[in-house]
């Protein structure tokens, strides 16, 4: 395990964060992630980082805050808490987040409290989130098992065996079982570029989705939109990989388009609550109807956050025959589950429009980029999903058939 942790840390520093000389690094870690955080700290300094700060998050204490604090108190974000993260907004700063989320952490907690805290946090950290979404700063996410998370994934196993089993799967998903995991990731990134170039060459204006579980949906793309994924670059040219692992190729929709029904193909874990068996109905880009058999109030709070949370902000393509999907495991963790399935996101859009770095929020909105305090991914991919692309000249191109890319 020590060897695995060191390989994991090296991968996060070289591929995820791409730490460089004189960088200021903030590591935000779960308590379970402490060994990885310590190893990442060492590799950051070996990469000539100027300073590394580690901040630990205690999920069990967080649950107690929600149980015992009133809603008004939860909405008060201490200035030091906001200042810490907002200070990582220059080109020499990078944030690395290590997750170990319990999918049931907030079972029994008032969902209105969770939603109120989430909205207040986003408002206090608006500058940081805006910069992260527009690639003005580097950031990356990864995960290590906790007992609660592992037991949710493997309820039939003892806690220790469940943790070991989840580690096995994370090692595979992160390509840590390769002889040289850094090279394995570089090869994957390079291979993804060809598919991205093909998609961008099609000059798509619309995507049409259909599968057997009820998704029948068409959505448009803004003029000048482009696809990205696997390896991104900041506006000042520094590479990074925001999600580790990742398998997606993504872009943004035109917020004023989107007609039909989208049926979620997997549960969604949001703020410690599981949402299951849900659908969204959209008309001209607006969510006009929705329901969930489990977690309805949480879904309602997501959609009713603000005007932009009633629209979509991301289109992500992940083929069904992919490394994470082939593990045949529901992770109950969006970082992994979204990379096993095509997905959309409710809320804020990544401004993947040519020339966006020179545009104002208002100019981007006029082109169709959505703006919201939320950005929540939910999965729609299935083994029989078909996606057809319609180009500006009306040409129809098969993008997905039977759940996989056609090229």
CA–CA separation, 405 and 402 (whole Å): 9
Q: In the listed set 127, 153, 173, which residue is the last one of a domain according to the structure?
A: 173
In the structure, what pLDDT confidence band is assigned to residue 312 with cuts at 50, 70 and 90? very high
Q: What is the pLDDT of residue 288?
A: 98
Count how many domains the chain has: 2
142 and 261 fall within a common domain: no
262 and 379 fall within a common domain: yes
144 and 66 fall within a common domain: yes
Domain that residue 207 falls in = 203-227+247-405
Contact 3, 235 (CB under 8 A): no
Q: Is the dihedral of CA 360, 365, 366, 369 positive or negative?
A: positive
Residue 272 has pLDDT above 90, yes or no: no
Contact 23, 91 (CB under 8 A): no
8 and 49 fall within a common domain: yes
Task: Examine residue 240 and state whether it is found in any structural domain, yes or no.
Answer: no
Q: What is the pLDDT of residue 155?
A: 97
Residue 257 has pLDDT above 90, yes or no: yes
CA–CA separation, 37 and 17 (whole Å): 13
Q: What residues have CB less than 8 Å from 290, skipping those under 6 apart?
A: 278, 279, 280, 281, 299, 300, 303
Q: What is the pLDDT of residue 338?
A: 94
Task: Examine residue 159 and state whether it is found in any structural domain, yes or no.
Answer: yes
Q: What is the CATH number of the domain that holds 148?
A: 3.40.1830.10
151 and 207 fall within a common domain: no
397 and 319 fall within a common domain: yes
Q: What is the pLDDT of residue 119?
A: 93
216 and 151 fall within a common domain: no
CA–CA separation, 355 and 369 (whole Å): 13
Q: Which among 187, 158, 184 has a CA at the least distance from the CA of 172?
A: 184
* β-pair partners for 240: 232
Count of C-beta atoms within a 10 Å radius of residue 290:
19
Q: What is the pLDDT of residue 271?
A: 85
Give the gyration radius of the chain's Cα atoms: 20
Task: Examine residue 279 and state whether it is found in any structural domain, yes or no.
Answer: yes
Contact 36, 64 (CB under 8 A): no
Q: Which two tokens stand for residue 192?
A: 């993804």
Task: Examine residue 138 and state whether it is found in any structural domain, yes or no.
Answer: yes
* Average of per-residue pLDDT across 297-325: 96
Task: Examine residue 182 and state whether it is found in any structural domain, yes or no.
Answer: no
In the structure, what pLDDT confidence band is assigned to residue 144 with cuts at 50, 70 and 90? very high
- Average model confidence (pLDDT) for the chain? 96
Q: Which among 323, 237, 193 has a CA at the least distance from the CA of 18?
A: 237
350 and 273 fall within a common domain: yes
161 and 256 fall within a common domain: no
In the structure, what pLDDT confidence band is assigned to residue 179 with cuts at 50, 70 and 90? very high
**Phi, psi dihedral angles at 140 (to 5 degrees):** -155, 150
Task: Examine residue 188 and state whether it is found in any structural domain, yes or no.
Answer: no
151 and 278 fall within a common domain: no
What is the residue whose two structure tokens read 């692992």?
A: 245
In the structure, what pLDDT confidence band is assigned to residue 172 with cuts at 50, 70 and 90? very high
255 and 121 fall within a common domain: no
Q: What residues have CB less than 8 Å from 214, skipping those under 6 apart?
A: 261, 263, 279
Q: Is the dihedral of CA 25, 340, 372, 238 positive or negative?
A: positive
145 and 45 fall within a common domain: yes
pTM higher than 0.75 for the full model? yes
Q: Which two tokens stand for residue 49?
A: 């980082």
């Amino acid at each position: 395990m020590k060897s695995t942790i060191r390989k994991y840390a090296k991968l996060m520093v070289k591929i995820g964060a791409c730490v460089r000389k004189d960088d200021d690094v903030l590591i935000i870690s779960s308590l379970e992630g402490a060994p990885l955080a310590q190893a990442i700290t060492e590799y950051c300094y070996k990469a000539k980082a100027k300073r590394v700060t580690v901040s630990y998050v205690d999920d069990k204490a967080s649950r107690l805050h929600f149980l015992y604090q009133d809603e008004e108190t939860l909405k008060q974000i201490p200035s030091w808490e906001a200042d810490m993260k907002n200070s990582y907004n220059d080109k020499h700063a990078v944030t690395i987040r290590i997750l170990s989320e319990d999918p049931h952490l907030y079972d029994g907690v008032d969902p209105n409290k969770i939603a109120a805290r989430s909205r207040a946090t986003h408002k206090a950290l608006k500058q940081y989130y805006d910069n992260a979404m527009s690639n003005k700063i580097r950031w990356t996410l990864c995960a290590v098992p906790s007992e609660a998370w592992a037991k949710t994934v493997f309820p039939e196993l003892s806690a220790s065996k469940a943790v070991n089993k989840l580690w096995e799967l994370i090692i595979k998903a992160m390509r840590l079982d390769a002889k040289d995991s850094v090279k394995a990731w570089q090869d994957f990134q390079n291979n993804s570029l060809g598919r991205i170039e093909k998609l961008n060459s099609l000059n798509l204006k619309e995507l049409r989705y259909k599968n057997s579980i009820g998704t029948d949906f068409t959505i448009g793309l803004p003029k000048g939109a482009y696809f990205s994924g696997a390896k991104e670059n900041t506006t000042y040219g520094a590479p990074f990989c925001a999600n580790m692992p990742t398998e997606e190729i993504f872009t943004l929709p035109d917020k004023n388009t989107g007609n039909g029904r989208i049926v979620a193909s997997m549960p969604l874990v949001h703020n410690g609550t599981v949402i299951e068996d849900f659908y969204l109905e959209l008309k001209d880009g607006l969510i006009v109807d929705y329901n969930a058999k489990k977690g309805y109030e949480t879904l309602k709070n997501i959609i009713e956050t603000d005007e932009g949370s009633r629209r979509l902000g991301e289109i992500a393509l992940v083929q069904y025959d992919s490394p994470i999907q082939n593990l045949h495991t529901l992770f109950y963790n969006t970082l992994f589950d979204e990379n096993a399935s095509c997905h959309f996101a409710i809320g804020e859009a990544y401004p993947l429009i040519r020339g966006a770095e020179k545009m104002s929020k208002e100019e981007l909105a006029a082109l169709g980029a959505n703006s919201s305090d939320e950005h929540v991914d939910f999965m729609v991919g299935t083994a029989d999903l078909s996606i057809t692309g319609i180009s500006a000249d009306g040409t129809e191109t098969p993008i997905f058939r039977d759940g996989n890319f056609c090229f």
